[in-house]
């Protein structure tokens, strides 16, 4: 294989991986779109909180399970999909299939399924399992499309169809994938990484939960819907982060950054065309173009911080990254609560989050500069 051919193949594989990740992000969007047609506003708020809890659990469990292995040079088996994760995900989705209108069942089943999907996604991203991800994306697209069509006719079985699609995606990823791995990562890095991820994942959960507890149901649904829309960027940023945890790559960084800008442009175009209002219903009335633009800016300013973050992780400085994340998360939560209590404007909230994310990037960059200088002096 020539160098040019190999490069084209790598680009195609990367694009397939990112696209399949974007499809995975469709799952919470599909649930909210279906809920907007099948549940009253308080039920939609419940589901928004459940999805936030699911995202938190999925992020923490997947990172704590796999990222320490990826960073541990002693281990040969870097990643896998444990049998318990597949079983948990399938049980959770079956609950949704059988009891599609039950909020308590969704409160159990959705987080379980999201944990299994995230572990499978992280494994695929690290191993570049693009063929498997293409099949996974196909199952989720068909399921989401069928569920949305059923919800238009107010059929409660729309949730069941989504559950079946998620089960199919979980099983496709588990097929021909190792369900156990030899050796265990060191305890200290595992603890640091898990705690750090928990601190980061607590931010969106804390924001949605605060609005929910204030009984501002419409704002809670709109806020979660906005975060879900921003999830279109997460596959790009997540793929870049996962690959950079393995090795530095300037071409990957530039390519994924450019793709992020294009994704943001597409999001804003879809907002102007009224697509999100059509998908999420009346709750989207709370989201203005200005608020969505600031939300996109919030995600955009997070990209530069990925480079010093992954550098410090590769250097084994998980403890130092953790304390930076602690400071960042505390700032996030404090600023969010103050702004939510002070104003009901999502634009004001996302402006505050953008400022905090900029501060986080500067803290990571300052530590990166300090560490690289110390290494040069050795």
Q: Is a pLDDT exceeding 60 seen at residue 31?
A: yes
Q: Is a pLDDT exceeding 70 seen at residue 4?
A: no
Terminal Cα distance for the chain, rounded = 41
**Calpha distance 131→110 (Å, rounded):** 26
**Calpha distance 250→254 (Å, rounded):** 6
Q: How crowded is the C-beta side of 164, counted as CA atoms within 13 Å?
A: 13
**Calpha distance 105→93 (Å, rounded):** 10
pLDDT at residue 230, rounded to an integer: 85
Res. 16 pLDDT band, cuts 50 70 90: low
241-263 pLDDT per residue, tens: 777 776 677 777 788 788 888 88
Among residues 30, 18, 56, 61, which one has the least CA distance to residue 235? 18
Q: Is a pLDDT exceeding 70 seen at residue 138?
A: yes
Helix axes 217-230, 187-213, angle to 10 degrees: 140
pLDDT at residue 215, rounded to an integer: 67
State phi, psi for 329 to the nearest 5 degrees. -65, -40
33-89 pLDDT per residue, tens: 899 889 888 888 899 899 999 999 998 999 889 888 887 778 777 788 999 999 999
Q: Count Cβ atoms below 10 Å from residue 184 Cβ, excluding itself.
A: 12
Check: CB of residue 85 under 8 Å from CB of residue 116: yes
pLDDT at residue 5, rounded to an integer: 57
Q: Where are the alpha helices (DSSP H) in the chain?
A: 3-24, 26-38, 41-71, 83-98, 103-127, 130-152, 157-174, 187-213, 217-230, 234-246, 250-272, 275-280, 289-300, 306-314, 318-342, 346-377
Length, in residues, of the chain: 378
The CA-based angle 332-288-263, given to 5 degrees, is: 75
Mean pLDDT lowest among 19-23, 156-160, 268-272, 360-364: 19-23
Q: How crowded is the C-beta side of 330, counted as CA atoms within 13 Å?
A: 6
**Calpha distance 267→279 (Å, rounded):** 13
């Amino acid at each position: 294989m020539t160098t040019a051919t190999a490069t084209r193949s790598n680009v195609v594989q990367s694009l397939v991986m990112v696209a399949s990740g974007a499809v995975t992000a469709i799952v919470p969007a599909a649930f909210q779109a279906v809920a907007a047609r099948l549940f009253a506003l308080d039920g939609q708020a419940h589901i928004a909180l459940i999805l936030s809890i699911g995202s938190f659990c999925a992020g923490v469990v997947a990172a704590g399970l796999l990222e320490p292995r990826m960073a541990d040079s002693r281990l040969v088996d870097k990643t896998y999909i444990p049998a318990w994760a597949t079983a948990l995900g399938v049980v959770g989705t079956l609950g949704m299939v059988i009891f599609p209108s039950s909020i308590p069942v969704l409160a159990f089943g959705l987080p379980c399924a999201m944990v299994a999907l995230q572990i499978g996604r992280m494994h695929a991203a690290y191993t570049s399992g693009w063929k498997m991800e293409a099949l996974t994306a196909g199952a989720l697209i068909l399921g989401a499309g069928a569920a949305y069509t059923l919800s238009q006719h107010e059929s409660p079985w729309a949730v069941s169809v989504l559950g079946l699609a998620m089960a199919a995606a979980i099983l496709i990823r588990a097929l021909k994938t190792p369900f156990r791995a030899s050796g265990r990562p060191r305890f200290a890095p595992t603890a640091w990484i898990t705690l750090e991820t928990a601190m980061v994942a607590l931010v969106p959960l804390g924001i949605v939960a605060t609005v929910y507890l204030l009984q501002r149901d419409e704002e809670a649904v709109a806020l979660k819907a906005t975060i879900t829309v921003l999830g279109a960027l997460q596959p790009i940023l997540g793929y870049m982060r996962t690959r950079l945890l393995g090795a530095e790559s300037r071409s990957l960084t530039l390519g994924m950054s450019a793709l992020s800008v294009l994704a943001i442009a597409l999001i804003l175009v879809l907002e102007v065309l009224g697509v999100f209002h059509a998908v999420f219903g009346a709750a989207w009335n709370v989201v203005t173009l200005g608020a969505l633009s600031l939300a996109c800016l919030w995600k955009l300013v997070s990209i530069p911080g990925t480079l010093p973050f992954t550098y410090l992780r590769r250097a084994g400085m998980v403890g130092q990254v953790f304390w930076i994340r602690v400071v960042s998360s505390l700032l996030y939560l404090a600023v969010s609560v103050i702004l939510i209590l002070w104003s009901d404007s999502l634009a004001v909230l996302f402006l505050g989050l953008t400022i905090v994310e900029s501060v986080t990037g500067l803290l990571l960059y300052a530590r990166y500069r300090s560490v690289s200088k110390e290494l040069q002096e050795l």
